[in-house]
Amino acid sequence: MSLVCWKCGASLAGMLLPLSRRDACPSCHADLHVCRLCRHYDVNRAGDCRELAADRVTDKTRANDCGWFVPRPDAYRGGGAAMAQASRSALDALFSPPDKPDAPASDQS
């Protein structure tokens, strides 16, 4: 199984399994024992979880003690820093002054 961080997509190949509640991504330091990295996580289900017996967890991105936690390799959905940079660039383009066309040189003889 080739796990990657749910938040930044960095490889978790060096992590010992099972992941403990205290484990964090070596790249972005995000908690790893979280709903977002679990195979039961499903935003289309009540409580965002397919496991009906699991206790309700309110913050899906913070470490929890859920006994049903099973990491899934496809938890990373992209976005993150790349998406934020693209958004910043779009805002900069929107709010920056327009480029001024070259003014014709006036002939002062």
What pLDDT score does 100 carry? 58
* pTM given for the model: 0.69
**77-100 confidence digits (pLDDT tens):** 876 555 566 677 777 888 877 665
What pLDDT score does 79 carry? 60
Tell me the C-alpha to C-alpha distance, in Å, between residue 28 and each of 6, 37, 47, 49, 61. Answer: 10, 14, 26, 25, 13
Domain ranges of the chain: 1-95
Please say whether the beta carbons of 54 and 68 come within 8 A.
yes
Number of neighbours of residue 20 by Cβ within 10 angstroms: 11
What pLDDT score does 40 carry? 96
